[in-house]
Amino acid sequence: MKRFYVFLVIAVVSLSVFAEEVTEVKIGAGWEMTGPIAGFGQMSWDGVKLAMKLRPTVNLWGKEIPVKVVLLDNKGDKAEAANVVKRLIDFENVPVILGPCTSSCALAAGAIAEQRKVAMLANTATNPLVTQNRRYIFRACFTDVLQGELLAKFAWEELKARHVVIMVDVAQDYVVGLANYFKKAFAKYGGTSFEEYYNTGDQDFTAQLTDALSHNPDTIFMPGYYAEIALISKQARELGFEGSLLAGDGADAPELIQIGGEFVEGLCYTTYFHQDADLSPATKPFVEAYWKEYNRRPDAFGALAFDAYNLALDAIEKAQSLDPEEIRNALASMKDFQGVAGTITYPEGSGDPIKPAVINTVENGQFVLKTVVRP
């Protein structure tokens, strides 16, 4: 009998310790903090830091519980991205994960999250495959099917492009995907296009560009990432190219202008956000708060990471649980979430929201809003 009481005491103590233990809610984050696309991860993290400052707690079981985001660096590497998610789930026991930015990383990381049944919210991974046939993967951005069509339309109507060279990074799922969607859509308008290839991290594109320019294209389309876009633009201009420059959402980083300088003037690209674009009632307060915090323009990656953080917290509050499965269900049934980069509603059985897109251009070393396209 004595033994039973001892057991009871231990049970009660450990239970009360367990109940006390929810003094903070841990959320996982895996972003590209270093490496060739460090800008994406850093901008996203700045967005999350601001979101944490504005909303430091989550309302769970009638209590305000502080939120802690565990950030790990995936170095922009597919294998690392998978490792990061593994560590977040297995060692940090997070019930939901934010990030990563790029489609290649999101594909690799998503496979792990799916297997372990924990919801992952990629802020800017646009490749359709990222969420396809996956129950636990969501995104805060539009997909490349839409982006490719918008770019083709813009190229044909606004840039009057007819013969386009597409610079394809063979190592990035995002780039290969977007290049294909653009190509198909552009062909429908009657335009012709051809491809030149490179690999992430390449610095010299003179050979590809010399070859491309010998076919007299009127536009160079670069569905890659900012560093390569900046270098390609520079080398194309130096080789005497005078046509238009067009890029996808991978261009959206201040490094594009810092590295590309005068050579990226006039470049147009699609993205998710611009401070002058009125995307939802939440846009303006965010822009003001961002300026106050960082004293610079808010960017698309930060805006979507900001949305992803709030989306995750809303899902936790809606589920009133820290169980990964219930959080996943709350996310999947999310309706009219007021994000700073547009409202998010997940259609039945899909992790892809329908969202407006923004087209920006570089003017006098600044990103300037050109137009907002609503689906």
Q: CA nearest 120: which of 131, 129, 128?
A: 131
Cα gap 13→30, rounded to integer Å = 36
Pick the closer one to other proteins by CB: 261 or 285: 261
Cα gap 67→359, rounded to integer Å = 34
Cα gap 74→85, rounded to integer Å = 9
DSSP secondary structure, 166-200, as one string: EEEETT-HHHHHHHHHHHHHHHHHT-EEEEEEE-T
Tell the smallest beta-carbon distance from residue 204 to other proteins (Å): 6
Q: Which helix (H) or strand (E) holds 235?
A: helix 226-238
Tell the smallest beta-carbon distance from residue 241 to other proteins (Å): 10
- SS3 per residue for 124-173: CCCCHHHCCCCCCEEECCCCHHHHHHHHHHHHHHCCCCCEEEEEEECCCH
Pick the closer one to other proteins by CB: 36 or 128: 36
Asked whether the CA dihedral 273, 185, 256, 249 is positive or negative, the reply is: positive
φ and ψ of 373, to 5 deg: -110, 120
Radius of gyration over every alpha carbon of the chain, rounded to an integer in angstroms: 22
Q: CA nearest 249: which of 143, 168, 176, 347?
A: 143
Tell the smallest beta-carbon distance from residue 237 to other proteins (Å): 9
Tell the smallest beta-carbon distance from residue 367 to other proteins (Å): 16
**Do β-strands 192-198 and 163-169 pair in parallel, antiparallel, or remain unpaired?**
parallel
Pick the closer one to other proteins by CB: 7 or 194: 194
Interface residue list for other proteins (CB under 8 A): 33-36, 38-39, 42, 168-171, 195-199, 201-204, 206-208, 210-211, 214, 227, 230-231, 234, 238-240, 255, 258-259, 261-262
Tell the smallest beta-carbon distance from residue 73 to other proteins (Å): 8
Pick the closer one to other proteins by CB: 99 or 351: 99
Tell the smallest beta-carbon distance from residue 195 to other proteins (Å): 8
| 264-to-49, 103, 353, 362, 364 alpha-carbon distances in Å | 30, 24, 31, 7, 10
Pick the closer one to other proteins by CB: 208 or 270: 208
Tell the smallest beta-carbon distance from residue 365 to other proteins (Å): 8
Tell the smallest beta-carbon distance from residue 167 to other proteins (Å): 10
Pick the closer one to other proteins by CB: 59 or 199: 199
Pick the closer one to other proteins by CB: 298 or 351: 298
Pick the closer one to other proteins by CB: 186 or 198: 198
